Amino acid sequence: MQAHFMTEESYADISKGHGRIEHRVVSLCTTLDNIPAWPGLQTLIRVESQRQFKKGGHPCLETETRYYIASFVESAEAFAYRIRGYWGVENKVHHVRDVTQGEDASRIRMHPLPQIFAVARNFALNLYRSNAFDNMAQAERRCKYGLETLKRIFRMK
């Protein structure tokens, strides 16, 4: 893909948080003459990110390049916000289900149990969020070991 990518527009931003500084450049290519026919393809998007952080007290630098495709044309800034929004959803829902609730490690395989447990996990996350918990792991621990927390969440008090 690199060989066919000719930057026509780009947008850069810097974000700081969680002990790191991240510099991202989103570049667009809408001239797709050299790309084999791909129905609906209108935009190639390249995101180059550089993260500075400390590991064990030593400064580290990570560089990553990701590519996306789109069936529509927008500004580089709009694509940057879309992509960040996608990862926000990933971190808010999928990551919590995978890490806090152990969804990836689950050995439940028989239909329809995986779907039932996914609904139960989402139900629990929605209950935690509707009760103003920011930390889902902490909410889960409090519910496991505190009857008063469960009563409050289910409005039984």
pLDDT, one tens digit per residue, over 108-146 is 888 899 899 889 888 888 888 888 888 888 888 888 888
Mark which of 23, 44, 76 sits at the end of a domain: 76
Q: What pLDDT was estimated at residue 24?
A: 96
Which of 14, 74, 81, 77 has its CA nearest to residue 49? 14
Angle between helix 136-145 and helix 113-130 axes, rounded to 10 deg: 100
Asked if residue 57 belongs to a domain, the reply is: yes
What is the pTM (predicted TM-score) of this model? 0.63
Q: What pLDDT was estimated at residue 58?
A: 94
The type of residue at 101 is Q
How many domains are contained in the chain?
Answer: 2
Asked if residue 92 belongs to a domain, the reply is: no
Q: For 39-65, what is the mean pLDDT?
A: 94
Confidence of residue 13 (pLDDT cuts 50, 70, 90): very high
Asked if residue 107 belongs to a domain, the reply is: yes
Q: Structural domain of residue 5, as residue ranges? A: 1-76
CB-neighbour burial class of residue 37 (10 A; exposed 0-12, middle 13-18, buried 19+) = exposed
Asked if residue 149 belongs to a domain, the reply is: yes
Give the C-alpha separation, 48 to 51, whole Å: 10
Listed ranges 2-16, 35-49, 67-81, 135-149; the one with the highest mean pLDDT: 67-81
Same domain, 40 and 107: no
pLDDT at 73 over 90: yes
pLDDT at 32 over 90: no
